[in-house]
Structure 1
Amino acid sequence: MNKKIKKQDWLKIPNLLSYFRVLLIPFFVHSYLIAQDWNGHLIAAGILFLSGVTDAIDGIIARRFNQISDLGKLIDPVADKLTQVAVAAVLIVNWPIMAYLLVLFIFKEFSLFIINLLLLKKGQVIDGAMWFGKIGTIVFYCCMFILVISPSIDSTLLMVLILTTAFFQLAALVGYLSVFFNLYKEPNV
């Protein structure tokens, strides 16, 4: 379990795309907060869409061109989580009820952080995102994209999007807890 970050990993294309996603966050936040009409929200949604596309592309490039690295395994999820927190946080400006989703998201991520620390002490690790985590992320981005581009959305649709996102976040947490308990029961490595 001795993993090292190699010097050449810093400039691999998937990692550069992860850095780019982190750099997009302040531009997204700014564009959303200053948006005063549909065009302004379209710009914010475009930045969010670009972030989502680069997230998908970095994974494809990493797998297809054998550019998977320990650094990438670290920065890709960090870029995802920072983006997701930023999106949920700025949406609170329009819809204060989003605070509940933000709290759920932070609780889920903090729980997964603790789980990984406990596994690390045993010499184990959940290696990469599982399918249920990926689905939760896709649902999150789709629902949040709709909210970003539609600042005057109907309250019923708002609740459907928030509850759908919350359901898939909770499902991902339950899935990861199941994986954790199975790994934790295994003897020490």
Structure 2
Amino acid sequence: MNLANKLTLLRIFLIPVFMVFLLNRVNIPYGAGIAAGIFILAAITDALDGYIARKKNQITTFGKFMDPLADKLLISSALISLVQMGKISAIVVIIIIAREFTISILRAVAASEGVVIAASWWGKMKTVTQIVAIIALLINNYPFSYINFPFDVYMTWVAVFFTVISGIDYIRINKHILKSE
């Protein structure tokens, strides 16, 4: 169990902790702020585990499976919780989660044929904008509240844009995998 894999497992462990603070924010002093901090920490582990695995040449089969799963669990848990709290539309969350399922299945089919679908620039932008949108929704526009700028709404739609474009891009580039013989 290398450091990159431990960071991935930490991210998974942080998900229920994040949700306890987020969904019980009324009963826990500063619960929403603590939840935002936990989410940020988990997002940082996402960036670190991949960097460490590549830099130290510690890429493992476990990491290849668990890292994307941990990412999807973290983002999906946050988004579904935000729907429950009334901070984001279920339609937006369905679009994001549908894209994740679609591309995960595409990657699985490709892997079964010995093809690896690497993360694209669009996919990386999708991840970054989703994380920024979730953080903005969690902190409830705090840095922007004095100017009445709905940064969380803006970033949510930016994240949806990159989610849809990256999904289309992955399918366009890898459509040969979907062709039947």
TM-score interval, smaller chain: 0.7 to 0.9
Match runs of 1:32-181 below 5 Å? 32-36=22-26, 39-95=30-86, 97-126=88-117, 128-150=118-140, 156-181=150-175
Offset of residue 38 of structure 1: 8.2
The SS at the match of 2:114 is coil
Unaligned runs of 5+ in 2: none
Contact 2:133 2:152 in 1 (8 A): no
Q: For residues 123 and 68 of structure 1, do their structure 2 counterparts lie closer, same or farther at Cα, with a shift above 3 Å needed? A: closer
SS of match in other structure, 2:174? helix
Give the aligned length.
175
Moved more, 132-141 or 152-161: 152-161
TM-score (structure 2 length as normaliser): 0.85
Counterpart residue identity of residue 92, structure 2? L
For CA contacts below 8 A with separation 6 or more, give which structure has more relative contact order: 1
Q: CA RMSD in A?
A: 2.5
Rounded Cα–Cα distance in structure 2 between residues aligned with 1:159 and 1:145: 12
AA aligned opposite 1:51:
A
Point out where structure 1 has 5 or more consecutive residues left out of the alignment: 1-10
Matches within 5 A, 1:12-23: 12-23=2-13
The equivalent residue for 2:14 is 24
* Contact 2:136-2:152 within 8 A present in 1 as well: no
For residue 112 of structure 1, what is the amino acid of its counterpart?
Answer: I
- 1:7 is matched with none
Q: Distance in 1 between matches of 2:138 and 2:29?
A: 10
Shift of 1:77: 0.4
Q: Which residue of 2 aligns with 1:8?
A: none
Asked if the contact 1:62–1:68 (Cα under 8 Å) also holds between the matched residues in 2, the reply is yes
In structure 1, distance between residues paired with 2:107 and 2:46: 22
CA distance in 1: counterparts of 2:161 and 2:29, whole angstroms: 29
Superposition deviation, residue 140 in structure 1 = 0.4
CA contact (8 A) 1:29 1:87 kept: yes
Q: Deviation digits for residues 149-187 of structure 1, max 9, x if unmatched?
A: 1178769544323211111111110121122125667xx
Identity of aligned residues (%): 31
| TM superposition score normalised by structure 1 | 0.82
- 1:56: Cα distance to partner? 1.0
